[in-house]
């Protein structure tokens, strides 16, 4: 893993910080590989906060949701299922919405 990905995972697990996953606010899509990788990880006690990693996308960058869904659909099925399972554990409605968007692709 690149150092900034590892740092983002550590910051999230230690303090619930999502800002380290979204380093480039101008090129939002450039963050997708890092965010998707972080969503796949088991985060122990922070599992309920895993969907918070998507807050910047759903709050400030809604126009990039289709590109995020494209990135998610481009993952191998096993990785995609881990991402959706992590989101579903804490926010089933968000996971279901992503599944609907994936199905429409």
Radius of gyration of the chain (CA): 13
Separation of CA 91 from chain center? 12
Distances (CA, A) of 60 to 43, 63, 73: 24, 9, 22
The series of mean pLDDT values per 10 residues for the chain, 105 residues long, is: 84 86 89 91 77 87 94 96 91 93 92
What was the pLDDT predicted at 95? 92
Q: Which pLDDT score, from 0 to 100, does residue 14 have?
A: 86
Query: What is the distance between the alpha carbons of residues 11 and 64, in angstroms, rounded to a whole number?
Result: 24
Contacts of 93 (CB under 8 A, 6+ apart): none
């Amino acid at each position: 893993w690149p150092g900034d990905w590892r740092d983002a995972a550590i910051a999230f697990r230690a303090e619930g910080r999502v800002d380290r996953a979204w380093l480039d606010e101008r090129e939002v899509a450039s963050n997708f590989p890092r965010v998707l990788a972080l969503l796949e990880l088991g985060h122990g006690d922070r599992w309920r906060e895993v969907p918070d990693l998507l807050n910047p996308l759903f709050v400030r960058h809604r126009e990039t949701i289709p590109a995020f869904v494209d990135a998610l659909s481009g993952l191998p099925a096993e990785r995609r299922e881990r991402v959706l399972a992590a989101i579903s554990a804490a926010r089933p409605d968000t996971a279901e919405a992503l599944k609907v968007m994936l199905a429409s692709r």
